[in-house]
Amino acid sequence: MNRLLARTPFATALLLALALAGCTRDTTAPAAAEAAHDDAGHGQAGHDDDDAHAGEAPDSTVIKAAMAEQAGIRVAPVAAGTIADEHDVQGLLTPVDGRVAQVMARFPGPIRTLRANVGDRVAAGQVLASIESNLSLTTYTVTAPIGGVVLARQAQVGGVAGEGAPLFEIGDLSMLWVDLHIFGNDTQHITAGVPVTVSRMTDGVGQATTLERVLPGTATASQSTVARATLRNEDGLWRPGAAVKARIVVATQPAAQVVPLSALQTLEGKDVVFVREGDTYTARVVRLGARDAGKVEVLDGLKTGEAVVVEQSYVVKADIGKAGAAHEH
């Protein structure tokens, strides 16, 4: 049979089409083979088959592993997970009550020396200033009552310290409060004990913590309810007065199959994800359920364990689109 085919013009064209398919996208091989079939003059039946498939766009494409790696395409298996009831809010960082101390002069008199500036870290008992007492005409020292950071200094060398007047303010900032502002209906079901992730607006770094309490009053300026949590701040990068973002997780529900939102695309108005088998990526129509900020539940269309594109899915979509355009021509 092979010898017979090798002698016909159709066989020559078909072999040429298959050879070209090895260097280009697989979707061009059927088109080239059909063109060779027509040239060989196989009658009206071949034209009828072409007409039947002319309007169908391909739903898959072939991307070699090296190209997929270069494009940043990543896959992950479909698996069970959870969908969270989440609320995005904003708030402010504040020092924790009881961790801020005022440093005052015991007796009035001129200030002879000052040994700390705003921003300095000081230890408990460290000497911060010396003052000449107007009562005894002797010099006494003023020390830090707690360890922490100098937040404010209200004194100058040569000035006069009044009795009970604050010279320094020191704050232990190793822990901070974050006061989150809750609005509207959210106030009805956000309660103490739920997890929250707080993120800095400057660099996006986040920290997980737990809401400790919902304050009983209402913030006058914003008319919001304030929910409070505590943050660790050993590195000092969380700063009092800074605005932050937070995501509060009120509840979670299990789901048999979840995929990242980054896996979702639309083709012809339908929700799809791309399933990889070897080097072939196929668009799979899916029926979706609940979703949160990062994941969506898949109710139908996938099997647990299938490899789904979770990063750069739009690259696969674009590649299928190019294959469809080539198919139409």
Contact (CB, 8 A) for 126 and 142: no
Position 1 scores a pLDDT of 38
Q: Do residue 162 and residue 16 come from a single domain? A: no
- Name the residue range of residue 317's domain: 60-81+254-328
Q: Locate tokens 């949160």: which residue?
A: 292
Q: Do residue 205 and residue 314 come from a single domain? A: no
Q: What is the DSSP string of 236-260?
A: S-S-TT-EEEEEEEEEEEEEEEEEE
Q: Do residue 105 and residue 151 come from a single domain? A: yes
Last residue of a domain, one of 214, 230, 251: 251
pLDDT digits (tens, 9 = 90+) for 248-300: 998 889 999 999 999 999 999 999 999 999 999 999 999 999 998 899 999 99
Position 56 scores a pLDDT of 46
Q: What is the DSSP string of 298-314?
A: EEES--TT-EEEEESHH
* Helix, strand, coil content of the chain in percent (nearest 5): 20, 45, 35
Residue 249 β-bridge partners: 86
Q: Do residue 91 and residue 137 come from a single domain? A: no
Last residue of a domain, one of 171, 193, 209: 171
Q: Do residue 192 and residue 234 come from a single domain? A: yes
Q: Do residue 91 and residue 191 come from a single domain? A: yes
Last residue of a domain, one of 155, 171, 187: 171
Distance CA 225, CA 7 (A): 86
Q: Do residue 295 and residue 204 come from a single domain? A: no
Distance CA 309, CA 290 (A): 20
Q: How many domains does the chain have?
A: 4
Q: Locate tokens 């020390």: which residue?
A: 143
Q: Do residue 117 and residue 264 come from a single domain? A: no
Contact (CB, 8 A) for 255 and 78: no
Q: What is the DSSP string of 149-180?
A: EEEEE---TTSEEPTT-EEEEEE--SEEEEEE
Position 21 scores a pLDDT of 39
Looking up residue 285, the CATH number of its domain turns out to be: 2.40.420.20
Position 293 scores a pLDDT of 84
Reported pTM: 0.61
Q: Do residue 161 and residue 214 come from a single domain? A: no
Q: Do residue 184 and residue 240 come from a single domain? A: yes
Distance CA 5, CA 12 (A): 8
Q: Do residue 121 and residue 156 come from a single domain? A: yes
Q: Do residue 196 and residue 91 come from a single domain? A: yes
Distance CA 50, CA 30 (A): 10
Residues of the chain with pLDDT under 70: 1-58, 323-329
